[in-house]
Structure 1
Amino acid sequence: MNKKEGVLLGIDIRLVRIDDRLIHGQVAIVWAKRLDIQRIIVVSDAVTKDNIRKILLQQAAPPGIKVNVITVAKMIEVYSNPLFDGVKVILLFTNPVEVSKVVKSGIHFPAVNIGAMGYTTGKKMVANTIAVDDADLEAFHYLNAQGTELEIRKVITDSKQNLMDVLKKAKV
């Protein structure tokens, strides 16, 4: 983030979350209200190609909160755009691979919250709501090596659980 006269410039990211459900009750109501956000930015190359899903996500937002669905490349491009200085946002991703692409571009996230990553063929359940494959594991290890705290919390009132400890315990 840039600094000008003691004021931080850039997007005010209140939460970076991986949750393949994206905008749902907990995000739309509890997290958004508690974090006092103005905008939810869904960062997903796949979702940007699904017009129906984009419309549904915009309709799921609480009143007064704007929703944008953008590609990883667009996120990297707009991150330092002065038009977004001070805009309070939640960044939602469907997977850690896309988070790692943003971080590899030079954007650092101090912490990433993992809410849910559903099971599909080829993935292994490592926690109640988290299934990972090799690409996910590689991305999580990269983010951890960059100093990003990886914490599991489905809801804001849950205690934080360190993802790397969970992965170690699951022997993956």
Structure 2
Amino acid sequence: MKIKLLRIDSRLIHGQIANNWVGTVGVQTMIAACDSAAHDNLRKTLLMQVGREPTKTFVLDIAKTLRVYNNPKYADLDVLMVVETPQDVIRLMDGGIPVTEVNVGGITYKEGMTRVTESVSVGKAEIEAFQELHRRGIKLEVRQLPSSSHSDMMDDLKAKNLI
């Protein structure tokens, strides 16, 4: 399996991804790798309905995502993979998925978080995870749409005096 885009987006699969990123990246498969969504039948069904033909859409927990990634049956598959948090990226990497770059698309604001950009909010856990990804040499690009301007996540965190 070749992951052509790994994106962090707390909404997982939605119109921006199905209508913009899939075509730009040139994939026929989307995987939402998220434990909570994979185990919530209603959420899983709704996420899978966002994908448009001929794109195949899957919602898998992290453990199953790792099994699928390592299955030779899927070696030729080009994939757009979306996770909910930067911590999920670390779990994928620790499970053996090589990562060099991550698209940070959106992390929804919740109480106790700090808004870093229009689309990205972070709490302590997210900051620590981004720092770990940076230590591992991962490029962290904040970009909502393929046509949007982009920034470096670590620069954005520094600009807000969060690191």
Q: What TM-score do the two structures reach when normalised by structure 2?
A: 0.95
Paired AA for residue 48 in structure 2: Q
What secondary structure does 1:155 align onto? Answer: coil
Match of 1:157 in 2: 147
- What do the CA deviations read for 1:13-34 (whole angstroms, capped 9, x no partner)? 1100011112222100111012
Which of the numbers 128, 146, 161 marks the counterpart of 1:138? 128
- What do the CA deviations read for 1:39-82 (whole angstroms, capped 9, x no partner)? 10000111112111111111110111111111111122221211
More off after superposition, 102-111 vs 90-99: 102-111
Tell me the C-alpha RMSD between the 2 structures. Answer: 1.1
Q: What TM-score do the two structures reach when normalised by structure 1?
A: 0.90
- 1:106 deviates by 3.0
What secondary structure does 2:73 align onto? Answer: helix
What secondary structure does 2:144 align onto? Answer: coil
1:88-127 aligned within 5 A: 88-127=78-117
Paired AA for residue 20 in structure 1: S
Match of 1:30 in 2: 20
Residues matched between the structures, number:
162
Gaps of 5+ in 1: 1-10
Gaps of 5+ in 2: none
* % identity of equivalent residues: 35
Paired AA for residue 63 in structure 1: E
What secondary structure does 1:127 align onto? Answer: coil
Which of the numbers 55, 64, 71 marks the counterpart of 1:81? 71
- What do the CA deviations read for 1:90-139 (whole angstroms, capped 9, x no partner)? 00011111111111223221110011101111211111111111111111
Match of 2:44 in 1: 54
What secondary structure does 2:70 align onto? Answer: coil
Match of 1:14 in 2: 4
What secondary structure does 2:145 align onto? Answer: coil
In 1, Cα distance between equivalents of 2:71 and 2:129 = 26
Query: Once superposed, which parts of structure 1, at least 4 consecutive aligned residues long, lie more than 6 Å away?
Result: none
